[in-house]
Amino acid sequence: MTTGRERGDEPTYRLRLYVNAGTPTSAHAIVATRRFLELHLQGRHELEILNIADHVAQATADQVIASPTLIRLGPLPIRRFIGTMADEERLRRTLLLEAVE
């Protein structure tokens, strides 16, 4: 990564994954997300998984309309990733490398 940060100063990623529990895409998304995070952000991430139907007010506040939706709350800027998280390459480029903080 070419962020010019000093070693030991790497930020923790705060992530929230909204799914429609019980559907195949949900299951894929959860598995793929966990795998991705273990691989690239080992020990540097906090992942919250929410079922949209159980957290409607929260989903509304987070402007979630697609399912599944992964939101990077930190580091900024806030980004949204919609889909099963199957496109790992794109996820890597955008989730990891486009952090500004």
Partner 1 sequence: MTNSNERLPEGTGALPKAPTGIPGLDEITGGGLPRGRPTLVCGGAGCGKTLLAAEFLLRGARDLGEPGVILSFEEGADELADNLRSMGFDLRGLEAEGKVVVDSVRLARAEVESVGEWDLEGLFIRLGHAVDRIGAKRVMLDTPEALFAALPDEVTLRAELARLFQWLRDRGLTTVITAERGTQSLTRHGLEEYVADCVVLLDHRIVDQVSTRRLRVVKYRGSAHGTNEYPFLITPRGLSVMPITSLRLDHEAPAERVSMGVPDLDGMLGGRGVFRGSSVLVSGSPGTGKSSIAASFVAAACARGERALMFSYEESRAQLVRNMASVGIDLARWIEAGLLEIVAARPTVFGLEQHLVSIHDRVLEFSPDVVVIDPINNLTLGEHDTSLKPTLMRLFDFLKQRRVTGLYTSLASDHRSATNEQDVQVSSLMDTWLLLGNRELNGERTRTLQIIKSRGMKHSNQVREFVLDDHGLTLVDVYMAGNDVLTGAARVAQQSREGAVPERRT
What are the residues binding partner 1 (CB under 8 A)?
18, 20, 23, 25, 28-29, 32, 52-53, 56, 59-60, 63-70, 77-88, 90-91, 94
Q: Which amino acid is at 61?
A: A
Which residues, 6 or more positions from 69, have their beta carbon under 8 angstroms from its beta carbon? 17, 18, 80, 81, 82
- Residue closer to partner 1 by CB (options 7, 35) is 35
Q: Least distance from C-beta 8 to partner 1, angstroms?
A: 29
Least Cα distance to 74 among 43, 32, 44 occurs for 44
- Residue closer to partner 1 by CB (options 9, 89) is 89
Question: In this structure, what are the phi and psi dihedrals at residue 93, rounded to the nearest 5 degrees?
Answer: -65, -40
Nearest-angstrom CA–CA distance, 67 and 65: 7
Q: Least distance from C-beta 53 to partner 1, angstroms?
A: 5
Q: Least distance from C-beta 66 to partner 1, angstroms?
A: 5
Q: Least distance from C-beta 78 to partner 1, angstroms?
A: 7
DSSP three-state, residue 35: helix
- Residue closer to partner 1 by CB (options 15, 52) is 52
